[in-house]
Amino acid sequence: MPHPPEEDEDHLDEDGLDASAPPKPVFHAEQALLGALLFDPRRLDDLHGITADSFSTAAHAALYAAISTLPRPDPAEHAKNTKWLNRVLATGRQQAPGLTASYLHTLIHLCPRHSHAPAYARMVEAEHARRRLQTAAERLVHTVHDVSLPHPVQTVLAEADALAAVVDDIANRFPPRAAVLPRTAPPPPATPDHTQAVEEEQILLATATTHPRDIEAVRWLLPDDLVLPLHTGLWQCLTALARRHEPVDPVTVLWEAQQRRLLDDGRDPGEVLRLLAEPAGSVEHWAERVLQRSLLATVERTGRRIAAYAGDRANTPFQLVVGARRALADIAAVRTRWQHATAPTPPQRQRSTPPTRAGPPTTTPPAHAARSTQATR
């Protein structure tokens, strides 16, 4: 075993080796992997897909970058002296000045089995996958709440695509063995301010009551897109009446609401009538506003759900892939409806004037022709 460079410094602190908190299990896997590579750099040939970014600390990342980029030493020379280790230390210190020779010596001795380097690397890469997924999910949630975005839906969906790309990459590295969902309980639902949403939904319901023929044009809006249970039920009343081609006005909607037990909680029927009596604008405009809000809420829930999965270190990469893909399916469903809602209306084709049909063939000569024939006889 080669001896490490002769230097006696205590330990790293700001480069990921702070002893104030117990290190995570992946930290020990990283130490074992680096120790195996420092002892025998040829073990790099057994590793696939791991990079310096896969490590959880700046010191470990700098060490791995140095090990993987420097020319490998001759095995016989490496066993006799510490020249290559000196070069690794000098190169690593360019990115992590707190690295010490004693720490390299510690890493070599901390590795239980140098031949287990591929297994250690797999652990490091699994933890890196978890961190990547959590970061992407948290970024998605942050984007949903960014009120400065000029085009929130497009930006949020682009961020959702970036999250899906991370999931696909993890799946390529860790193909799911079975459809085993993560064990993590979903996070508690958020409690956003629904004041504006409630107002817009009230206008939608009133406008649809006044213009029921326009309900058919917004079939992409589902009852669950509305935030209040009463509004959800009233939208179901409106769509049911319109589908049955029955009269639609505040009174008929109120009667339908009674049949569906929407008033069983003691709600004042006059409140429902007043809610349906103030239309404004178009049904399609308010329906699109409601759907946009529903899309953003779905994305926010999905991001928080995936972040919760990734935040649980007990979940394997296989479970993270399965759970994330099922969660992303919710975004795909509402995204399809959004595309239908915002697709440009194709121009109506003008009817061409049909060609004049020719009359039936004449089998008898015209009257004037018959008279001239008789005159010549």
Express each pLDDT in 70-127 by its tens digit: 999 999 999 888 999 999 999 999 999 999 999 999 999 999 999 999 999 999 999 9
- Among left, alpha and beta (phi > 0; psi -120 to 50; other), residue 174 is beta
CA gap 257, 209 in Å, rounded: 13
pLDDT of the residue at 347? 58
- CA atoms of 364 and 106, how far apart (whole Å): 117
111 DSSP assignment = -
Q: What number of H helices and E strands is found in the chain?
A: 14, 0
In this prediction, residue 14 carries a pLDDT of 42
Q: Output Rg (C-alpha) for the chain, integer angstroms.
A: 35
Distances 278 to 5, 206, 218, 272 between C-alpha atoms, Å? 82, 6, 20, 11
Cα four-point dihedral sign 108, 109, 113, 116? negative
Pick left, alpha or beta for residue 144 (phi over 0 → left; psi -120 to 50 → alpha; otherwise beta).
alpha
CA distances from 94 to 73, 97, 104, 134 (A): 20, 6, 15, 29
Kindly list the distances between the CA atom of residue 230 and the CA atoms of 198, 249, 260, in Å, as whole numbers in the listed order. Answer: 10, 17, 11
Q: With a cut of 50, list the residues of the chain below it in pLDDT.
A: 1-16, 351-359, 361-377
Q: Is the dihedral of CA 272, 275, 278, 281 positive or negative?
A: negative
Res 183: pLDDT: 78
Our measurement of the distance from residue 125's CA atom to the centroid of its chain's CA atoms, rounded to an integer in Å, reads: 22
pLDDT recorded at residue 369: 43
Sorted by sequence, the CB contacts under 8 Å of residue 34 that are 6+ apart come out as: 60, 63, 64, 67, 107
Select from 291, 300, 301 the least CA-distant residue to 335. Answer: 291
Which candidate, 272, 221, 263, places its Cα nearest to that of 242? 221
- 127-187+194-343 CATH, one of 3.30.420.130, 1.10.860.10, 1.10.3720.10, 2.30.30.180: 1.10.860.10
Please count the other Cβ atoms lying within 10 Å of the Cβ belonging to residue 185. 8
pLDDT of residue 350: 52
pLDDT of residue 164: 97
**Residue 68 phi, psi dihedral angles, 5° rounding:** -80, -15
pLDDT of the residue at 377: 37
**What CA–CA distance (Å, rounded) separates 62 from 52?**
7
Tokens of 313: 């270190």
Map out the domains of the chain as residue ranges: 25-112, 127-187+194-343
239/219 Cα distance (integer angstroms): 9
